[in-house]
Amino acid sequence: MDISSIVFWVIVAVLLFYVINIYNSLVTLKNRYQNAFSQIEVQLKRRYDLIPNLVETAKAYIAHERETLEAVITARNQAMAGLKAAAANPSSAVAIGELNGAEGLLSNALGRLNVVMEAYPELKANENMMQLSEELTSTENRVAFSRQAFNDAVTSYNIYRQSFPPVVLSPIFGHGKDATLLEFEDREVIKQAPEVKF
Percent of the chain clearing pLDDT 90 (strictly above): 51
pLDDT at 184: 61
The answer to whether residues 85 and 99 touch, using CB atoms and an 8 Å cutoff, is: yes
List the chain pLDDT tens, one digit each, 198 residues.
789 899 999 999 999 999 999 999 999 999 999 999 999 999 999 999 999 988 888 887 777 778 888 899 999 999 999 999 999 988 888 999 999 999 999 989 988 888 888 887 787 777 888 888 888 888 988 998 999 999 999 999 999 999 999 999 999 898 989 989 888 664 443 344 434 333
Domains in the chain, CATH or no CATH each: 34-184 (1.20.1440.20)
Shortest CA distance to 82 belongs to which of 48, 122, 39, 55? 48
Q: Residue 102 in contact with residue 79, Cβ under 8 Å? A: yes
Question: What is the per-residue pLDDT across 109-130, written as a single tens digit (0 to 9) for each?
Answer: 988 888 888 887 787 777 888 8
Distance separating alpha carbons of residues 53 and 139, to the nearest angstrom = 14
**61 burial via Cβ count (<10 Å: 0-12, 13-18, 19+):** middle
pLDDT at 182: 86
Task: Render the burial of 79-89: b for 16+ CB within 10 Å, e for the rest.
Answer: bbebbebbbee
pLDDT the model gives residue 197 = 38
* pLDDT of res. 36: 93
Q: What's the pLDDT tens digit per position in 65-92?
A: 788 888 999 999 999 999 999 999 888 8
